[in-house]
Amino acid sequence: MKKTLTGVAAGWTLLYGGLVPSVAQSLETPLKIEVHLYNYSGVSAEALARAEQETARIYRRLGVEMEWRHCLRTADELEKKTTCDLPTTSTKFTLRLLSKEMAQRFPVHDDIYGFALLSINGGFGVVANVFADCAREIPTEEETRGVILGHLIAHELGHLLLAEAGHAAGAGIMHIPWQTKELEQIKRGVMYFLPGQSERIRAQVRARTISQPPANRAEEN
């Protein structure tokens, strides 16, 4: 996602024989994704909890629940704990919060806040990276940094669940750049996916529950 921060739904509900939308939705299989989070940026526990809360709130509005797993970061740690092995199903995602030093290793412009790895063969991408140190440089109140980070995470996961690198024009969480208006929407908790995007994300999560193993390639966002 571009970090030119001069600036970063309506539900799809099947109607079963005339059932009202709320009843029809309750009959659907619950949608859920699992996020394995690697905090290489050293985001504080308080800010990280706030970010997870915001991301989960945004996706819950679509009818998608999230489960978070905090993963260890070094080889020695990983040998002792296998909770966060590489995802084996397409509803499990790897999310890496990268430090500024790590972000500089990627051949991306300085105005990039993160990128997702999209499939090259019709499969499902499962890896997203957010440049969390760069996000901390966004001019805002300290108490809202976790909120902004949560929206950045939702944005990058959105690329994976929409299976596209493009950005929406004009509005919504996939729209860039995030200027003063968008930052105010984030602070008020009113920036969401657009209705068409919401429908596609729900359909994607359903498809992922019965999907083949994923294959990825990098896409800048």
pLDDT, tens digit, 9 for 90 and up, residues 117-154: 998 887 899 999 999 988 888 878 888 999 999 999 99
Contact 95, 153 (CB under 8 A): yes
Domain CATH number, residue 78: 3.40.390.10
Task: Determine, yes or no, domain membership for 20.
Answer: no
Tell me, what's the pLDDT at 215? 47
Task: Determine, yes or no, domain membership for 3.
Answer: no
Task: Determine, yes or no, domain membership for 46.
Answer: yes
pTM of the entire structure? 0.79
Range of the domain at 191: 28-220
What is the mean pLDDT of the segment spanning 12-35? 52
Task: Determine, yes or no, domain membership for 93.
Answer: yes
Average predicted confidence (pLDDT) for the chain: 80
Task: Determine, yes or no, domain membership for 159.
Answer: yes
Q: Please report, rounded to a whole number, the percentage of residues in the chain having pLDDT higher than 70.
A: 74
The token pair that represents 89 in the structure block: 């199903």
Task: Determine, yes or no, domain membership for 16.
Answer: no
Residue-wise pLDDT tens digits, 53-77? 999 999 999 999 999 999 976 656 5
Task: Determine, yes or no, domain membership for 146.
Answer: yes
Confidence of residue 21 (pLDDT cuts 50, 70, 90): very low
Residue-wise pLDDT tens digits, 176-206? 888 889 999 999 999 999 999 999 999 999 9
Task: Determine, yes or no, domain membership for 19.
Answer: no
Query: What is the tally of structural domains in the chain?
Result: 1
Contact 126, 92 (CB under 8 A): yes
